[in-house]
Amino acid sequence: MQQFTMMIDGQKITSEKTFEVINPALGLPFAKCAEGSPESVDMAVKSARKAFPEWSQSSQQSRIEKMLEIASLLEQNMPELMQLITQENGKPLNGYKGIGSGMEVGGSIAWTQATTSFSLPPKIIQDNDEAKIEVHRKPLGVVASITPWNWPLLIAIWHIMPALRTGNTVIVKPSPYTPLATIRFVELANTVLPPGVLNLVTGGADVGNAISSHPDINKIVFTGSTATGKQIMSLASGNLKRLTLELGGNDAGIVLPDVDVKKIADELFLSCFHNNGQTCACLKRLYVHESVYSDVCEALVKIAKSIVVGNGMVEGVEIGPLQNKAQLNKVIELTNDAIASGGKLLVGGKQREGEGYFFPPTIISDIADGVRLVDEEQFGPVLPIIKYSNVDEVIAIANKNQNGLGGSIWSSNIPLATELASKMETGSVWINEHGTVQPDAPFGGVKQSGIGVEFGTLGLEEYTSVQTIKTSRR
């Protein structure tokens, strides 16, 4: 069984305790990982703090060059990283419509490269005979990244690269469910970066709590559940840490009566079921106008029945297992509750017998708000489809949910869809697609879905503080 270590101050660090990493397609361990502790966090913070002055004062160009070297290393090691992601996360190497481990590593490369193109030059507020006023962006210090299990490498890249680009040093704590691809990435990056610039500590809640409360960490960027985000926010208050929190989503999609069902069906299904529904910005509750309700249900069921579910290492598999047993149990619980509450099971609905955490694409109709499957984030391959008759009323219903990450409008009338999009209380709204993100477009949630934004120059700003310099000329 392969052994993985932590990385602190440019060195691989072992520990007396280890934990096993489970392959969800088999339900069996396939690797062991060093288990960190609060003492490991202290070591990593000291290393990052020591490296900060030189790294923060290095030139923009030198940091860009090192980031591009890291992107090249990711590309050179792409097959290994893909296999690690598939083994620890379960997503197929290629996946449905190409959304799999290959896309995750490819996206990591592209995001690293794109982040080098963003910059935060000084802004001149005033420059006249009286004074010159400049606004500068300065790195915060030590940034801690706490990542989830659904996109383990890609989200680590989202957190780490803007931190490095702006001159911060970093400590990353991957999910104990999926630490391996991130460990390998940090090992590769440390062949390029100075010691202490990028550190990795593995472990569970005690490590996360030690990071959240550590007095010498200046910022935390976290992607995960709202409950955990609130706990991090509370612990981080001790030294007023900066926070970027991308939290739970229960994204609504609204299908208007003017759609061409055949034209949107594939994209609609992809929006709901890519990565097995285990994406914060998946479409998780679908509101369909009564005039096209039956046609939409029929089209999505037809696609669901054609999907190949299995071990992601096998060629041709489109959707893999749920990542962990707890998530599988939650999906089963919400599905059974929806059916008991009167929902009509159209396809799927039962765990596959045998090894692994497999659950097929499942669609439930004749359901409404107030049922747990609609009100809660299922984070799995189960879609509730809700019938509506009045557009204004359904917008209000969609907005009533406590989450506000993303939403979508599906229509052939783009001006109308754009008008309705502006009424959705979400950080992002897509028209005729859902959940697509890109490096230059800000992404973040409102309400219970988070604080702050990621990506582009606005995301880059979140890793900096503002310093105003005024030079008097009187």
Establish whether 246 is a catalytic residue.
yes
Whether 119 and 463 have beta carbons less than 8 Å apart is answered as: no
| pLDDT on residue 56 | 98
Can you name the residues that pair with 34 across neighbouring β-strands?
18
Write the pLDDT tens digit of every residue in 391-404.
999 999 999 999 99
Name all domains of the chain by residue range, CATH numbers in brackets.
2-247+449-472 (3.40.605.10), 251-439 (3.40.309.10)
Q: Is 222 exposed, middle or buried (0-12, 13-18, 19+ CB in 10 A)?
A: buried
Cβ atoms within 10 Å, residue 389: 11
| pLDDT on residue 273 | 98
Residue written as tokens 């970027």? 244
Residue 24: phi and psi, rounded to 5, are -70, -20
Residue 256 structure tokens:
């208007």
Residue 141 structure tokens:
């210090």
Whether 158 and 455 have beta carbons less than 8 Å apart is answered as: yes
Cα dist from 417 to 77, 99, 112, 258, 412, whole Å: 43, 27, 33, 11, 8
Among the listed residues 272, 280, 282, 297, the single catalytic one is 280
The CA distance from 417 to 388, in Å, is: 16
- Total residues belonging to the chain: 474
Element (H, E) at 170: strand 169-173
Establish whether 65 is a catalytic residue.
no
Judging by DSSP bridges, how do beta strands 406-410 and 251-255 pair with one another?
parallel
| pLDDT on residue 1 | 87
Write the pLDDT tens digit of every residue in 202-245.
999 999 999 999 999 999 999 999 999 999 999 999 999 999 99
pLDDT in tens, the chain (474 residues): 899 999 999 999 999 999 999 999 999 999 999 999 999 999 999 999 999 999 999 999 999 999 999 999 999 999 999 999 999 999 999 999 999 999 999 999 999 999 999 999 999 999 999 999 999 999 999 999 999 999 999 999 999 999 999 999 999 999 999 999 999 999 999 999 999 999 999 999 999 999 999 999 999 999 999 999 999 999 999 999 999 999 999 999 999 999 999 999 999 999 999 999 999 999 999 999 999 999 999 999 999 999 999 999 999 999 999 999 999 999 999 999 999 999 999 999 999 999 999 999 999 999 999 999 999 999 999 999 999 999 999 999 999 999 999 999 999 999 999 999 999 999 999 999 999 999 999 999 999 999 999 999 999 999 999 999 999 998
Per-position DSSP letters for 121-141, written without gaps between them: --EEEEESSSEEEEEEEEE-S
Element (H, E) at 85: helix 78-89
Among the listed residues 88, 104, 246, 377, the single catalytic one is 246
The CA distance from 131 to 247, in Å, is: 43
| 194 DSSP assignment | P
| pLDDT on residue 243 | 98
The CA distance from 430 to 194, in Å, is: 41
